[in-house]
Amino acid sequence: MKGVPCSAGARFGNGVYFGDNSGKMDQYCDIDKEYSKGNLLHQMIYPEDGNCRHPGDVFYALVCRVTLGCSRVYKGSGDFHPSARHTNELCDVPGVEPPLPHHSLIARKATTNVKDPFDEYIIFHSDLTYPEYLVAYQRR
């Protein structure tokens, strides 16, 4: 992922969005119904010569290490403003010379939509992320 521009954003603009609760991640997962020979992920985790078969109706999620650095905490409506220098940067950390933008944004559940009770962590540079595990799961 190093050097990959972040463009998966939504509410807080372009960035990579994370949560600390699997329920948050599950909101964005699409179902994988069956094995496909042409699917590279399937070839890697369900090899034809192996004993692990595609279970059908499976979902996938990445467990990542994320460096948040100096975070800006979103406190509600009107509090989020990116830097005037660049739309992919947050405002500067106060009292730091030379000027340095915040590395990440934390949106606490208390300040987000009541229907979405999960915290969100947004980074604007993908090199702050290390995908560590791929988790395959089924809903019951």
- How does pLDDT run across 21-65, given as a tens digit for each residue? 888 888 888 999 999 999 999 999 998 888 889 999 999 999 999
pLDDT of residue 105: 87
Q: To the nearest whole number, what is the mean pLDDT of the chain? A: 80
pLDDT of residue 35: 94
Q: Helices in the chain by DSSP H: which ranges?
A: 22-26, 40-45
Torsion, Cα 127 129 133 139, to 10 degrees, reads -130
State the DSSP string of 67-107. ---SEEEE-STT---B-SS-TTSBPBPTT-SS--B-SEEEE
* Pairing of β 129-137 and β 120-123: unpaired
Residue 81 has pLDDT above 60, yes or no: no
